[in-house]
Amino acid sequence: MILLLCLLSPGVFAIVFPDPPANGSDSTGSFSDTFDENGTALFLQPLSDDERLEALIARTGVPLLELAAGGIYSAYNGDDAALRDRATGICSLAGGARHDALTLEVSPEIAPAHTDFIAALDEYIAAGTLLGGSAPLNQSMVDEALDHLVLGTEHLLGAMQGCRSPDAGNPETEPVLMSHATELAPEFPDALQIGERFRYDDASGANSGSVVVFRIRTLSSFYTTGVKPQSYAAKSGESFLLVAIKATHLGHKGDSTNYRLQAPRESAFILYYAGETYRPIPPPGPTNQGEAYSGRLLERHESVDGYLFFEVPEDFDPLHAYIEASIGRASPVWYLGDGVAAW
Protein backbone atom coordinates (compact mmCIF):
# COMPACT_ATOMS: atom_id res chain seq x y z
CA MET A 1 0.00 0.00 0.00
CA ILE A 2 2.86 2.39 0.76
CA LEU A 3 4.37 1.78 -2.68
CA LEU A 4 0.94 2.13 -4.30
CA LEU A 5 0.37 5.55 -2.75
CA CYS A 6 3.85 6.81 -3.54
CA LEU A 7 3.75 5.59 -7.13
CA LEU A 8 0.24 6.77 -7.89
CA SER A 9 0.35 10.27 -6.44
CA PRO A 10 2.80 12.00 -8.82
CA GLY A 11 1.92 9.91 -11.85
CA VAL A 12 -1.82 10.35 -11.69
CA PHE A 13 -1.61 14.07 -11.10
CA ALA A 14 0.83 14.47 -14.00
CA ILE A 15 -1.81 12.92 -16.25
CA VAL A 16 -4.96 14.45 -14.83
CA PHE A 17 -3.53 17.89 -14.01
CA PRO A 18 -0.64 18.47 -16.43
CA ASP A 19 -0.29 22.17 -15.58
CA PRO A 20 -0.50 22.63 -11.79
CA PRO A 21 -0.72 26.16 -10.41
CA ALA A 22 2.57 27.89 -9.67
CA ASN A 23 3.77 28.12 -6.09
CA GLY A 24 2.18 31.00 -4.28
CA SER A 25 -0.55 31.53 -6.87
CA ASP A 26 -4.19 31.51 -5.87
CA SER A 27 -5.52 28.77 -8.11
CA THR A 28 -9.07 29.29 -6.90
CA GLY A 29 -9.12 33.05 -7.42
CA SER A 30 -11.96 34.89 -9.13
CA PHE A 31 -10.21 35.52 -12.43
CA SER A 32 -7.78 33.69 -14.68
CA ASP A 33 -5.10 36.13 -15.86
CA THR A 34 -2.31 35.98 -18.39
CA PHE A 35 0.01 38.51 -20.02
CA ASP A 36 0.43 39.82 -23.55
CA GLU A 37 3.79 40.26 -25.29
CA ASN A 38 4.27 43.67 -23.61
CA GLY A 39 3.80 42.23 -20.13
CA THR A 40 0.35 43.78 -19.70
CA ALA A 41 -2.04 41.66 -17.66
CA LEU A 42 -5.08 40.47 -19.58
CA PHE A 43 -8.11 39.60 -17.45
CA LEU A 44 -10.13 36.72 -18.81
CA GLN A 45 -13.43 35.21 -17.78
CA PRO A 46 -14.08 34.38 -14.10
CA LEU A 47 -13.19 30.82 -13.17
CA SER A 48 -16.16 28.50 -13.01
CA ASP A 49 -16.78 26.38 -9.94
CA ASP A 50 -15.85 23.33 -12.04
CA GLU A 51 -12.42 24.88 -12.65
CA ARG A 52 -12.13 25.86 -8.98
CA LEU A 53 -12.77 22.25 -7.98
CA GLU A 54 -10.14 21.04 -10.44
CA ALA A 55 -7.61 23.51 -9.02
CA LEU A 56 -8.50 22.57 -5.43
CA ILE A 57 -7.93 18.87 -6.12
CA ALA A 58 -4.67 19.66 -7.91
CA ARG A 59 -3.43 21.79 -5.02
CA THR A 60 -4.33 19.46 -2.13
CA GLY A 61 -4.38 15.97 -3.65
CA VAL A 62 -0.65 15.22 -3.77
CA PRO A 63 0.08 16.56 -0.25
CA LEU A 64 -2.80 14.45 1.12
CA LEU A 65 -1.48 11.33 -0.59
CA GLU A 66 2.02 12.02 0.72
CA LEU A 67 0.73 12.53 4.27
CA ALA A 68 -1.34 9.34 4.01
CA ALA A 69 1.68 7.37 2.78
CA GLY A 70 3.80 8.82 5.56
CA GLY A 71 1.15 7.92 8.12
CA ILE A 72 1.02 4.32 6.90
CA TYR A 73 4.82 4.12 7.03
CA SER A 74 4.90 5.50 10.58
CA ALA A 75 2.16 3.09 11.69
CA TYR A 76 4.01 0.05 10.44
CA ASN A 77 7.21 1.26 12.11
CA GLY A 78 5.45 1.95 15.41
CA ASP A 79 6.47 5.62 15.39
CA ASP A 80 3.52 7.11 17.30
CA ALA A 81 4.98 10.63 17.45
CA ALA A 82 5.41 10.85 13.67
CA LEU A 83 1.98 9.29 13.21
CA ARG A 84 0.34 11.98 15.35
CA ASP A 85 2.23 14.73 13.50
CA ARG A 86 0.99 13.47 10.14
CA ALA A 87 -2.52 13.06 11.54
CA THR A 88 -2.52 16.73 12.53
CA GLY A 89 -1.35 17.72 9.05
CA ILE A 90 -4.02 15.56 7.40
CA CYS A 91 -6.81 17.07 9.53
CA SER A 92 -5.65 20.61 8.83
CA LEU A 93 -5.24 20.19 5.07
CA ALA A 94 -8.35 18.07 4.54
CA GLY A 95 -10.48 20.30 6.78
CA GLY A 96 -9.56 23.44 4.86
CA ALA A 97 -10.10 21.76 1.50
CA ARG A 98 -13.47 20.42 2.60
CA HIS A 99 -14.61 23.91 3.62
CA ASP A 100 -13.60 25.28 0.22
CA ALA A 101 -15.14 22.36 -1.69
CA LEU A 102 -18.53 22.73 0.04
CA THR A 103 -18.83 26.31 -1.22
CA LEU A 104 -18.66 25.19 -4.86
CA GLU A 105 -21.74 24.66 -7.00
CA VAL A 106 -20.39 22.43 -9.73
CA SER A 107 -22.14 21.30 -12.90
CA PRO A 108 -24.01 17.96 -12.97
CA GLU A 109 -21.31 16.54 -15.25
CA ILE A 110 -18.60 16.97 -12.64
CA ALA A 111 -20.79 16.38 -9.58
CA PRO A 112 -19.55 12.77 -9.13
CA ALA A 113 -15.96 14.05 -8.86
CA HIS A 114 -17.09 16.63 -6.31
CA THR A 115 -18.87 13.91 -4.30
CA ASP A 116 -15.81 11.66 -4.42
CA PHE A 117 -13.56 14.51 -3.28
CA ILE A 118 -15.78 15.33 -0.28
CA ALA A 119 -15.91 11.62 0.61
CA ALA A 120 -12.11 11.41 0.40
CA LEU A 121 -11.70 14.41 2.70
CA ASP A 122 -14.17 12.94 5.20
CA GLU A 123 -12.18 9.70 5.30
CA TYR A 124 -8.87 11.56 5.79
CA ILE A 125 -10.38 13.72 8.54
CA ALA A 126 -11.73 10.61 10.27
CA ALA A 127 -8.27 9.03 10.15
CA GLY A 128 -6.58 12.18 11.42
CA THR A 129 -9.09 12.57 14.25
CA LEU A 130 -8.54 8.99 15.40
CA LEU A 131 -4.77 9.35 15.45
CA GLY A 132 -4.41 12.96 16.51
CA GLY A 133 -6.16 12.88 19.86
CA SER A 134 -4.58 12.73 23.30
CA ALA A 135 -5.67 9.15 24.01
CA PRO A 136 -2.90 6.51 23.85
CA LEU A 137 -2.84 4.76 20.49
CA ASN A 138 -3.69 1.08 20.33
CA GLN A 139 -3.70 -1.39 17.45
CA SER A 140 -7.46 -1.21 16.98
CA MET A 141 -7.36 2.59 16.57
CA VAL A 142 -4.44 2.38 14.14
CA ASP A 143 -6.12 -0.33 12.05
CA GLU A 144 -9.33 1.69 11.82
CA ALA A 145 -7.40 4.82 10.84
CA LEU A 146 -5.51 2.90 8.13
CA ASP A 147 -8.83 1.71 6.70
CA HIS A 148 -9.95 5.35 6.52
CA LEU A 149 -6.71 6.33 4.77
CA VAL A 150 -7.09 3.57 2.18
CA LEU A 151 -10.73 4.48 1.49
CA GLY A 152 -9.84 8.16 1.34
CA THR A 153 -7.20 7.42 -1.28
CA GLU A 154 -9.67 5.40 -3.38
CA HIS A 155 -12.16 8.28 -3.28
CA LEU A 156 -9.45 10.81 -4.11
CA LEU A 157 -8.32 8.86 -7.17
CA GLY A 158 -11.98 8.62 -8.23
CA ALA A 159 -12.29 12.40 -7.96
CA MET A 160 -9.15 12.88 -10.03
CA GLN A 161 -10.40 10.54 -12.75
CA GLY A 162 -13.86 12.12 -12.82
CA CYS A 163 -12.64 15.71 -12.92
CA ARG A 164 -11.10 15.70 -16.40
CA SER A 165 -11.73 13.90 -19.65
CA PRO A 166 -9.41 11.07 -20.82
CA ASP A 167 -7.86 13.52 -23.32
CA ALA A 168 -6.93 16.07 -20.63
CA GLY A 169 -3.25 15.12 -20.76
CA ASN A 170 -3.03 15.94 -24.47
CA PRO A 171 -1.87 19.56 -24.87
CA GLU A 172 -3.62 19.76 -28.23
CA THR A 173 -6.98 18.82 -26.75
CA GLU A 174 -9.00 21.16 -24.55
CA PRO A 175 -10.41 19.77 -21.29
CA VAL A 176 -13.96 18.43 -21.59
CA LEU A 177 -16.29 18.80 -18.60
CA MET A 178 -19.47 17.84 -20.44
CA SER A 179 -21.64 14.75 -20.02
CA HIS A 180 -20.26 13.31 -23.26
CA ALA A 181 -17.20 14.02 -25.37
CA THR A 182 -16.85 13.37 -29.06
CA GLU A 183 -14.31 10.70 -29.82
CA LEU A 184 -14.23 7.60 -31.94
CA ALA A 185 -16.07 4.76 -30.22
CA PRO A 186 -13.64 1.86 -29.88
CA GLU A 187 -14.42 -1.75 -30.66
CA PHE A 188 -13.97 -4.29 -27.91
CA PRO A 189 -13.68 -7.78 -29.44
CA ASP A 190 -13.29 -9.39 -25.98
CA ALA A 191 -16.16 -7.51 -24.34
CA LEU A 192 -18.33 -9.30 -21.81
CA GLN A 193 -21.97 -9.92 -22.64
CA ILE A 194 -24.91 -8.68 -20.58
CA GLY A 195 -25.22 -11.00 -17.60
CA GLU A 196 -21.51 -11.96 -17.52
CA ARG A 197 -19.75 -11.33 -14.23
CA PHE A 198 -16.38 -9.60 -13.82
CA ARG A 199 -14.45 -10.70 -10.70
CA TYR A 200 -11.70 -8.68 -9.07
CA ASP A 201 -9.68 -8.18 -5.86
CA ASP A 202 -9.33 -4.85 -4.07
CA ALA A 203 -5.98 -3.02 -3.92
CA SER A 204 -4.91 -4.83 -0.75
CA GLY A 205 -5.82 -8.24 -2.17
CA ALA A 206 -7.84 -8.93 0.98
CA ASN A 207 -11.35 -8.80 -0.48
CA SER A 208 -12.90 -10.17 -3.66
CA GLY A 209 -15.81 -8.63 -5.52
CA SER A 210 -17.77 -8.84 -8.71
CA VAL A 211 -19.61 -6.47 -11.04
CA VAL A 212 -22.21 -7.41 -13.63
CA VAL A 213 -24.34 -5.50 -16.16
CA PHE A 214 -27.60 -7.40 -16.23
CA ARG A 215 -30.24 -5.31 -18.00
CA ILE A 216 -30.73 -2.16 -20.09
CA ARG A 217 -33.75 -0.17 -21.19
CA THR A 218 -34.60 3.18 -22.77
CA LEU A 219 -37.44 5.56 -21.93
CA SER A 220 -38.45 9.15 -22.49
CA SER A 221 -39.33 10.07 -18.90
CA PHE A 222 -39.34 8.91 -15.31
CA TYR A 223 -39.97 10.39 -11.90
CA THR A 224 -38.51 10.04 -8.42
CA THR A 225 -40.51 8.66 -5.54
CA GLY A 226 -40.64 9.83 -1.97
CA VAL A 227 -41.76 12.93 -0.13
CA LYS A 228 -40.95 15.35 -2.97
CA PRO A 229 -41.31 13.53 -6.33
CA GLN A 230 -39.49 15.08 -9.26
CA SER A 231 -40.17 14.41 -12.94
CA TYR A 232 -37.44 13.94 -15.54
CA ALA A 233 -38.27 14.34 -19.23
CA ALA A 234 -35.78 13.73 -22.01
CA LYS A 235 -34.77 16.71 -24.13
CA SER A 236 -35.93 16.92 -27.73
CA GLY A 237 -34.09 14.32 -29.79
CA GLU A 238 -32.81 12.49 -26.70
CA SER A 239 -33.89 9.65 -24.43
CA PHE A 240 -32.76 8.08 -21.18
CA LEU A 241 -30.75 4.86 -21.18
CA LEU A 242 -30.94 2.88 -17.95
CA VAL A 243 -28.17 0.34 -17.35
CA ALA A 244 -28.69 -2.05 -14.43
CA ILE A 245 -25.51 -2.73 -12.43
CA LYS A 246 -24.94 -5.13 -9.55
CA ALA A 247 -21.79 -5.15 -7.39
CA THR A 248 -21.16 -7.88 -4.80
CA HIS A 249 -18.62 -8.44 -2.02
CA LEU A 250 -17.73 -12.10 -2.63
CA GLY A 251 -15.61 -12.61 0.47
CA HIS A 252 -12.52 -11.85 2.54
CA LYS A 253 -9.19 -13.66 2.45
CA GLY A 254 -5.81 -13.35 4.12
CA ASP A 255 -4.92 -11.72 7.44
CA SER A 256 -5.98 -8.14 6.71
CA THR A 257 -8.35 -6.44 9.14
CA ASN A 258 -10.15 -4.59 6.34
CA TYR A 259 -13.31 -6.56 5.63
CA ARG A 260 -15.07 -3.93 3.54
CA LEU A 261 -15.00 -3.60 -0.24
CA GLN A 262 -15.61 -0.40 -2.18
CA ALA A 263 -18.09 -1.01 -4.99
CA PRO A 264 -17.31 0.96 -8.19
CA ARG A 265 -18.80 4.42 -8.06
CA GLU A 266 -21.03 5.89 -10.75
CA SER A 267 -18.11 7.98 -12.05
CA ALA A 268 -16.22 4.75 -12.80
CA PHE A 269 -18.55 3.92 -15.71
CA ILE A 270 -18.31 5.26 -19.29
CA LEU A 271 -20.74 4.55 -22.13
CA TYR A 272 -19.29 4.36 -25.66
CA TYR A 273 -21.80 4.87 -28.45
CA ALA A 274 -21.63 6.00 -32.08
CA GLY A 275 -18.40 7.97 -31.84
CA GLU A 276 -19.16 9.61 -28.50
CA THR A 277 -18.61 8.89 -24.83
CA TYR A 278 -21.22 9.48 -22.14
CA ARG A 279 -21.02 9.79 -18.37
CA PRO A 280 -23.94 8.91 -16.05
CA ILE A 281 -26.04 11.76 -14.75
CA PRO A 282 -25.99 12.22 -10.96
CA PRO A 283 -28.08 9.52 -9.22
CA PRO A 284 -31.65 10.84 -8.97
CA GLY A 285 -32.51 8.52 -6.07
CA PRO A 286 -35.41 6.02 -5.95
CA THR A 287 -37.56 6.25 -9.10
CA ASN A 288 -40.66 4.64 -10.55
CA GLN A 289 -38.25 2.52 -12.62
CA GLY A 290 -36.27 1.30 -9.62
CA GLU A 291 -33.34 2.40 -7.49
CA ALA A 292 -30.45 4.43 -8.91
CA TYR A 293 -27.08 2.67 -8.65
CA SER A 294 -24.72 4.26 -6.15
CA GLY A 295 -21.38 2.60 -5.38
CA ARG A 296 -20.67 2.32 -1.65
CA LEU A 297 -18.75 0.29 0.89
CA LEU A 298 -19.92 -3.31 1.08
CA GLU A 299 -19.65 -5.67 4.00
CA ARG A 300 -18.82 -9.32 3.36
CA HIS A 301 -21.34 -11.02 1.03
CA GLU A 302 -23.33 -7.79 0.68
CA SER A 303 -24.55 -6.53 -2.72
CA VAL A 304 -25.73 -3.24 -4.17
CA ASP A 305 -27.64 -2.84 -7.41
CA GLY A 306 -29.55 -0.22 -9.35
CA TYR A 307 -29.64 1.75 -12.58
CA LEU A 308 -27.11 4.11 -14.08
CA PHE A 309 -28.93 6.87 -15.96
CA PHE A 310 -27.49 8.19 -19.24
CA GLU A 311 -28.78 10.84 -21.65
CA VAL A 312 -28.45 9.41 -25.16
CA PRO A 313 -29.83 10.12 -28.66
CA GLU A 314 -33.49 9.25 -29.18
CA ASP A 315 -32.59 6.65 -31.82
CA PHE A 316 -30.12 4.89 -29.51
CA ASP A 317 -29.19 1.45 -30.87
CA PRO A 318 -27.57 -0.92 -28.32
CA LEU A 319 -25.96 -2.87 -31.16
CA HIS A 320 -23.35 -0.10 -31.30
CA ALA A 321 -22.92 0.46 -27.56
CA TYR A 322 -20.44 -0.64 -24.90
CA ILE A 323 -20.06 0.27 -21.25
CA GLU A 324 -16.67 0.30 -19.50
CA ALA A 325 -15.94 0.27 -15.77
CA SER A 326 -12.70 1.47 -14.17
CA ILE A 327 -12.04 -0.94 -11.28
CA GLY A 328 -8.57 -0.53 -9.84
CA ARG A 329 -6.15 -1.34 -12.65
CA ALA A 330 -8.78 -3.27 -14.62
CA SER A 331 -11.23 -1.86 -17.18
CA PRO A 332 -13.84 -4.51 -17.99
CA VAL A 333 -16.18 -3.77 -20.90
CA TRP A 334 -19.69 -5.07 -21.58
CA TYR A 335 -21.34 -5.16 -25.01
CA LEU A 336 -24.91 -3.89 -24.75
CA GLY A 337 -26.15 -5.34 -28.05
CA ASP A 338 -26.99 -8.77 -26.60
CA GLY A 339 -29.55 -9.61 -23.99
CA VAL A 340 -31.74 -6.59 -24.72
CA ALA A 341 -34.80 -8.82 -24.59
CA ALA A 342 -34.31 -9.14 -20.83
CA TRP A 343 -36.08 -5.81 -20.17
More confident residue, 342 or 331: 331
Contact call for residues 156 and 65 (beta carbons, < 8 A): yes
Indicate the pLDDT class of residue 15, thresholds 50, 70 and 90. very low
- Average pLDDT of the chain is 78
DSSP state string for 21-84: PPTT--TT-SEEEEE-TTS-EEEEEEPPHHHHHHHHHHHHHHHHHHHHHHHHHHHHTT-HHHHH
Contact call for residues 283 and 293 (beta carbons, < 8 A): yes
Contact call for residues 53 and 114 (beta carbons, < 8 A): yes
Write the pLDDT tens digit of every residue in 287-318.
Answer: 988 899 999 999 989 999 999 999 999 999 99
Write the pLDDT tens digit of every residue in 236-264.
Answer: 999 999 999 999 999 988 777 788 899 99
Note the residue count of the chain: 343
pTM, two decimals, is: 0.48
* SS3 of the chain: helix, strand, coil, percent, to 5: 35, 25, 35
